[in-house]
Structure 1
Amino acid sequence: MNHTPKRGWTEELEIAASELVDRVKELIAEGNVRRLIIRKPSGEVLIEIPLTAGVAVGGAVTIIAPILAALGAMAALLVKVKIEVIRTTEEDDTSDDEDNVQ
């Protein structure tokens, strides 16, 4: 049984702290985000949020509500933050399907 290989990439966003909670909600809803790292502009890590593949499906906001509350409190103390977004995508596995056709 072949496992689908995964590729990933990282992007860094710098946003106003007042937009932090809404932006995190948007990123989670995208579904391909595996980890979020919130940093001060100096680079110091404030919080690291690991996300599982199913978080975006059904009730993600409920599951991460305590984290969003903490982010809101942090945002009140800061002007800008950096968000490091670590994403993964699964490779297309059509070659496996073709091999199994007889």
Structure 2
Amino acid sequence: MKGWLIVAPFLNVNAMALFPFILLREEEMRGDVVLLNHERIHLRQQAELLVLPFYVLYLLNYLVNLARYSSHNKAYLMILFEQEAYQRELDVAYLSCRKWCNWLAFF
């Protein structure tokens, strides 16, 4: 899944995957291979969970982490989906060999 790239200058983050789109804060980010790979990993995760359950699990995981770590940054980085995406974002071939629901390995 490549995702449709949309430049959204109002974003407070560099990029965001909202199935089936990847929102980018700046036009120049279209060339950022690592950033796009990270967001495409999220698109795959979203597709596996039929989109809506992904967002529910993402939010629940964040809230549990926030209660556990009392830090937004730590809570965000410890989200299972983010752990997989950050760990594999440099491997541009990852999605071609990724196992189904591999984010479960980060439990």
Q: Give the TM-score range, shorter chain.
A: under 0.3
TM-score using structure 2 length = 0.27
Larger Cα Rg: Structure 1 or Structure 2?
A: 1
Identify the structure with bigger relative contact order (alpha carbons < 8 Å, sequence gap 6+).
Answer: 1
More strand by share: 1
